[in-house]
Amino acid sequence: MSIFVIEFNDAAISASRDGELLLESPGYAVLDGQQLYLGNEARDIARIRPRWTNYRFWSALGTEPMAGATAQVRHHADLAYAHLKSIWNQIGEEGSEAIFAVPGHWSKEQLGLLLGIADEVGLKVRCMVDAAVAASAAHDQQDARFHLDISLHRIVLSELAGNETLERNRLFVVAEEGLVHFNNLWANTIADQFVHATRFDPMHRAEIEQQLHDRLPTCLAELDDLGAAIVELDDAGKHYSVTVRRDQLVSAAASTYPRIVQQLQIGTGAFNGEGALLLAERFSGFPGLHEALAVIPGINVHALAPGAAARGCMANLDALQGDDDQVQFHTAIRRGPKAVGGRKTEAKKPLPTHLLYRGQAWALGGQPMVLSMDESGVLPGEDIGAPQCSVQRLGGRIWLEPRPVTRLELNGREVDDKVALSVGDSLRFDGHEEAVQVISLSS
């Protein structure tokens, strides 16, 4: 029986099976008439349909009537149900169980509501675990004292304690500003650069503003690696590009980082240079954040790798048993790596390097590769047919993101959300028999 771990952070609800990341789906919903878009599909049109966009239904999970309610969607719980159902429809297996890694700041009422939603979806919950504790337990830093995480709308600091067993003590909301705030800051900074360099304003039309936000993850990854990035936009056949420097985005965050540092100093008052601060994977690529944190005396910052919460849960399967009478919420689990279920640790799979189609191998890299279709088949490129999806190396993994209104199958199962690819995966597009294979070519 497969064990799934679903981590509930609205920046991206992540789902793993037996320790392998399957998909990530941000907490976005767009209700356009009778059509409900969710996850990546909703985020990709959020700037185009702002009046119909909701990205607070997980952070404000509840059953209070919401503005703009319809017979289909009465409150945030309805949107959360639709989102979780769409995720489970893509990955779920009959007879399987899921461990929920949940935010420590959620109330008992919200946790109870989540369990009710899962029951309606038909998802059997083995137990719930504090997400910060699970992620920290997976790290080999035995003196971890604090865990810092970010979601769409807030930054949260969890104080940790314990040696062999790690538990969460206190919890602080460091800032009521999350990824939405930072992405807006950086998008506006890049837009100003376009205005100054080309006299083109990306914010003059919603479709172009959406393009700019879509480019942000790639831009931040390149800035982290190279210190500069080229951002390219297209408007009605006209092409515009600017070079963005890392220091420009650092300056944009100059008004926010000090407030985070100040709240961290309050929250870590007993720090005294002892122990480590674990930084959630969602802070990856934040320009200048490590330098800003360095002003805290004696701080020792370690960045967590993607999937840390799922690994922490899988390493503690023996202790995280289900209960037929009541779903337990664990805020303390064992530290450190441990073999799961006594099995031998399998060799790590190689990272995909190419897509193989009709004998041709297309190299994958940091820039998104758009796969399109025309009458001749599948081709790489956006201007040669109907775009179907994009594939990109990001955060140490290869990600596939379907385009809206695309029917795409991964290993025989239809996918709607952003998914991580592994060597051996097979992609098939609607109406096309031949598959695109995910491969690794050693140098």
Question: Mapped to the 3 state alphabet, what secondary structure does 317-341 carry?
Answer: CCCCCCCCCCCCEECEEECCCCCHH
State the first-to-last Cα distance of the chain, in angstroms, to the nearest integer: 37
**In whole angstroms, what is the distance from residue 151 CA to residue 283 CA?**
10
Instruction: Inform me whether the pLDDT recorded for 443 exceeds 50.
Output: no
- Percentages of the chain per state (helix, strand, coil), in multiples of 5: 30, 35, 40
20-to-17, 161, 191, 213 alpha-carbon distances in Å? 5, 28, 37, 28
Geometric angle at alpha carbon 202, from 38 and 194, rounded to 5°? 135
Give the model's pLDDT for residue 341.
Answer: 34
Mean pLDDT, range 230-246, rounded to an integer: 93
**For residues 433 and 442, which has the higher predicted lDDT (pLDDT)?**
433
Using only the alpha carbons of the chain, give its radius of gyration. 22
pLDDT tens digits, one per residue of 43-82? 999 999 999 999 999 999 999 998 878 888 999 999 999 9
Give the model's pLDDT for residue 340.
Answer: 35
Give the model's pLDDT for residue 338.
Answer: 47
pTM over the 0.85 mark: no
Instruction: Inform me whether the pLDDT recorded for 232 exceeds 70.
Output: yes
pLDDT tens digits, one per residue of 286-307? 999 988 988 887 778 899 988 9
**For residues 339 and 130, which has the higher predicted lDDT (pLDDT)?**
130
**Least confident piece of the model among 76-80, 102-106, 345-349, 372-376:** 345-349
Instruction: Inform me whether the pLDDT recorded for 233 exceeds 90.
Output: yes
What homologous superfamily does CATH list for 3-138+308-342? ATPase, nucleotide binding domain (3.30.420.40)
Give the model's pLDDT for residue 439.
Answer: 85
**In whole angstroms, what is the distance from residue 243 CA to residue 77 CA?**
42
Specify the 3-state DSSP secondary structure of 226: helix
- Domain 179-252: CATH class, spelled out: alpha beta
pLDDT-derived band at 269 (thresholds 50, 70, 90) equals: low
pLDDT tens digits, one per residue of 368-389? 889 988 888 888 887 777 888 8
Give the model's pLDDT for residue 168.
Answer: 92
Mean pLDDT, range 403-418, rounded to an integer: 82
pLDDT tens digits, one per residue of 245-255? 999 999 999 88
DSSP bridge pairs for 393: 398
Specify the 3-state DSSP secondary structure of 106: coil
Instruction: Inform me whether the pLDDT recorded for 14 exceeds 80.
Output: yes
**Least confident piece of the model among 188-202, 265-279, 403-417:** 265-279
Instruction: Inform me whether the pLDDT recorded for 343 exceeds 60.
Output: no
Give the model's pLDDT for residue 72.
Answer: 84
pLDDT tens digits, one per residue of 186-230? 999 999 999 999 999 999 999 999 999 999 998 998 898 889 999
φ and ψ at residue 87, rounded to 5 degrees? -70, -50
Give the model's pLDDT for residue 274.
Answer: 63
Topology of domain 354-439, CATH = Tumour Suppressor Smad4 (2.60.200)
Mean pLDDT, range 267-275, rounded to an integer: 60
Give the model's pLDDT for residue 346.
Answer: 38
**Least confident piece of the model among 219-223, 308-312, 402-406:** 402-406
Helix (H) or strand (E) holding 79: helix 76-91
Specify the 3-state DSSP secondary structure of 113: helix
Instruction: Inform me whether the pLDDT recorded for 26 exceeds 50.
Output: yes
Instruction: Inform me whether the pLDDT recorded for 339 exceeds 70.
Output: no
**For residues 317 and 115, which has the higher predicted lDDT (pLDDT)?**
115
- The overall average pLDDT reported for the chain is 87
pLDDT-derived band at 101 (thresholds 50, 70, 90) equals: very high
Note whether 75 and 65 are within 8 A (CB). yes
Residues of the chain with CATH 3.30.420.40: 3-138+308-342
Give the model's pLDDT for residue 139.
Answer: 83
58 by Cβ neighbours in 10 Å (0-12 / 13-18 / 19+) ranks as: buried
Residues of the chain with CATH 3.90.640.10: 179-252
Residues of the chain with CATH 2.60.200.20: 354-439
